[in-house]
Amino acid sequence: MQDTSQRPVGVALIGTGFMGKCHAMAWNNVATVFGGARPRLEILCDIDQTAADAHAGQFGFARAMTDWQAAVRDDAVDVVSITTPNGMHRPMAEAALNAGKHVWLEKPMALTLDDARHMADLAASHPDQVTILGYNYTRSPAFQAARAMIAAGDIGTPQAFRGVYDEDYSADPDLPWSWRMTHAGGGLGALGDLGCHLVSQMTALMGPVSEVTAMTHIAVPQRASPDGPKPVENEDSAMALLRFASGAHGSFATSRVARGRKCRLQWEIHGSNGTLVFDQENMNELWVHRSGEAGFTRHLTGPEQPDFTAFCPAPGHNFGFNEQKVVEARDLLRAIGGGAHVGPNFAQGYEIERIIHAMATSNGRPVQIG
């Protein structure tokens, strides 16, 4: 790996869609918010040169290209942001690691559990290179506050978890078929796109999962395409019962066909002395009940929560989705600079994949994860 101690980190970004823009905003804003050296935005890579040129100018990158292999090998690049379709995650991440680069990879980690295992093994063989997966919802001040409260024993011993992550972007049966609905292009369906986010929060709050019993469902078995109807191969929804290594139990549900739901990443934790409730659609609120209280107290995010004050000194001025990505970029840069690895790294990401793939294959039977 190249010595980056005497220069700002050089970035290559592969992909210019929704998450590509999120990464670009994070790279552009991380030094403004948290201080430190401003990353060098070296290469913007897209499958189309015209799009690459346009987005490089918009995002502030010095160069644009279509050859991602050349981008990850470039000597000016120290870290590679990968925001491409799921099927490219493994080859791009492995190429970047083999080229001596740090890797910021969007979720899901890979198409298959075997792919994720190989990626985690390769990352382990490159211990000086930082890997981080895009589980940005764990960066919100409300979530970080909840995690700290559990660690401090504020609600006693966590005994039960209930969580859902529902959206409705595939609810319309007339929505055309796409690569996201195939195993070869998308991998898992709702579990890989949405459910993995819920698992990332669930395990951070409750600890490892030891057993799952799950069922999946395809609500729209076929969808229209220019070549005629094509089958939907991966799940539209999934539900599971869980047992945690601690002995606590839980329930889990995710759907991409839940009418009216936009980003309902909602969970509650029942502890021996209290309860926590959170909903991403109201991400600046954490509801807390403690033993002896009549009901719940609404806690608004503000400077007392981690990372909030770096963006705004005034309480109640809401934190947002893209701010979470800036915190994620900060955590990556700190780890590259020798600080603590907050993760999830590829090893932790593999554990998340083990859980969602166990749900996908359970078919109503218990699956051990230990």
The model's pTM: 0.96
Could you name the CATH architecture of 10-135? 3-Layer(aba) Sandwich (3.40)
Task: Indicate if 137-320+346-368 has the same CATH topology as 10-135.
Answer: no
Q: What is the pLDDT of residue 139?
A: 97
In sequence order, which ranges of the chain are alpha helices (DSSP H)?
18-34, 49-59, 68-73, 89-98, 113-124, 141-151, 190, 196-206, 308-311, 321-336, 346-362
Question: How far is CA 92 from its chain centroid?
Answer: 17
Q: Which of 174, 201, 172 is nearest to 286 (CA)?
A: 201
CA distance 320 to 137: 10
Q: Where are the domains of the chain?
A: 10-135, 137-320+346-368
Q: Which of 165, 240, 153, 196 is nearest to 344 (CA)?
A: 196
Class of domain 137-320+346-368 (CATH, top level): alpha beta
Tokens of 80: 């590679």
pLDDT tens-digit profile, the chain (370 residues)? 444 456 899 999 999 999 999 999 999 999 999 999 999 999 999 999 999 999 999 999 999 999 999 999 999 999 999 999 999 999 999 999 999 999 999 999 999 999 999 999 999 999 999 999 999 999 999 999 999 999 999 999 999 999 999 999 999 999 999 999 999 999 999 999 999 999 999 999 999 999 999 999 999 999 999 999 999 999 999 999 999 999 999 999 999 999 999 999 999 999 999 999 999 999 999 999 999 999 999 999 999 999 999 999 999 899 999 999 999 999 999 999 999 999 999 999 999 999 999 999 999 999 999 7
CA distance 170 to 147: 32
